[in-house]
Amino acid sequence: TAAKLQAVKDKARQANDTAKAVLAQVKDLHQNLDGLKQNYEKLADSVAKTNAVVKDPAKNIADAGATVKNLEQEADRLVDKLKPIKELEDNLKKNISEIKELINQARKQAN
């Protein structure tokens, strides 16, 4: 019984370590997303300033098309960046559930 309890404790510790690692990765990805957001805001500001200066309608139309294309690409990149975060979130939820189950098992064995 002591060996089983130790095994459960070890598994809980491993799950906790995994959860901490996942949280660190989520934090890093969140910082990357913040950087992308700032770049996006700078890009949008630059486009607005350019459009204000340029008077030629054909140029404005071409610039708007390029801006839309850039924004679509940026949106695609942001969506791609969010996919790993979602996977990490799902993994973290799974690990937390496993930890809860291990704690419950440990309690049952302790009783």
- Mean pLDDT for all residues in the chain: 87
Mean pLDDT of 91-99: 90
Residue corresponding to tokens 């030629």: 56
Residue 90 has pLDDT above 80, yes or no: yes
Q: Could you tell me the residue ranges of all domains in the chain?
A: 2-110
Summarised one tens digit per residue, pLDDT across range 17-53 is: 888 998 898 888 889 888 888 988 999 899 888 877 7
Which pLDDT does position 54 carry in this prediction?
67
State the Cα–Cα distance between residues 88 and 24, nearest whole angstrom. 10
Decide: 8 and 102 in contact? Cβ < 8 Å.
yes
13: Cβ contacts below 8 Å, ≥ 6 apart: none
Alpha helices (H) in the chain, listed in sequence order = 2-53, 57-110
Decide: 36 and 81 in contact? Cβ < 8 Å.
yes
Which pLDDT does position 94 carry in this prediction?
92
